[in-house]
Amino acid sequence: MLKFRLYPNKTQREILEQALENCRCVYNCLLAAQKNTYEETGKLISQYDQNLKLTQLKGENPTLSKVHSQVLQNISKRIRDAYHNFFVRGRLGLKAGPPRFKKYGRYKSVTYPQSGFRVEGKKLLLSKIGSINIKLHRSIKGDVKTLTVKRMPSGKWFAIFSCKIMFEPEQKPNGAVGVDVGLNHFAVLSDGQAIENPRCLRKSESRLARLQRRLSRKKRKSRNREKARIKAARLHETIFNQRNDFLHKLSRKLTDSYSTIVVEDLQISNMIQNHKLAKSIADASWGRFIRMLSYKEEESGGEVVKVNPKGTTQICSRCGLKVPKTLAQRIHVCPRCGLKVDRDLNASRNILKNTVGTTGITPVEIEPLLSQGASLIAEAGSHRS
**Residue 180 annotated among the catalytic residues of the structure:** yes
**Residue 143 annotated among the catalytic residues of the structure:** no
Distance between CA atoms of residues 382 and 201, nearest Å: 18
Task: Supply the DSSP symbol for 357.
Answer: T
Q: Is 211 helix (H, G, I), strand (E, B) or coil?
A: helix
**Residue 265 annotated among the catalytic residues of the structure:** no
Which one from 40, 226, 344, 379 is the annotated catalytic residue? 344
- Phi and psi based region of residue 196 (left: phi greater than 0; alpha: psi -120 to 50; beta: remaining): beta
Which one from 191, 264, 283, 297 is the annotated catalytic residue? 264
Closest CA to 133 of 1, 12, 2, 3: 12
* Strand runs labelled E in the chain: 2-7, 109-112, 117-120, 123-126, 130-135, 143-151, 157-164, 176-181, 185-189, 194-196, 260-264, 303-307, 331-333, 340-342
Distance between CA atoms of residues 188 and 194, nearest Å: 4
User: Which is it for strands 176-181 and 260-264: parallel, antiparallel or unpaired?
Assistant: parallel
Q: What are phi and psi of 137, to 5 degrees?
A: -80, -5
Which one from 180, 191, 283, 297 is the annotated catalytic residue? 180
Closest CA to 190 of 203, 179, 204, 182: 179
Q: Is 367 helix (H, G, I), strand (E, B) or coil?
A: helix
User: Where does 220-260 have alpha helices with state H?
Assistant: 223-257
Residues with catalytic roles: 180, 264, 344
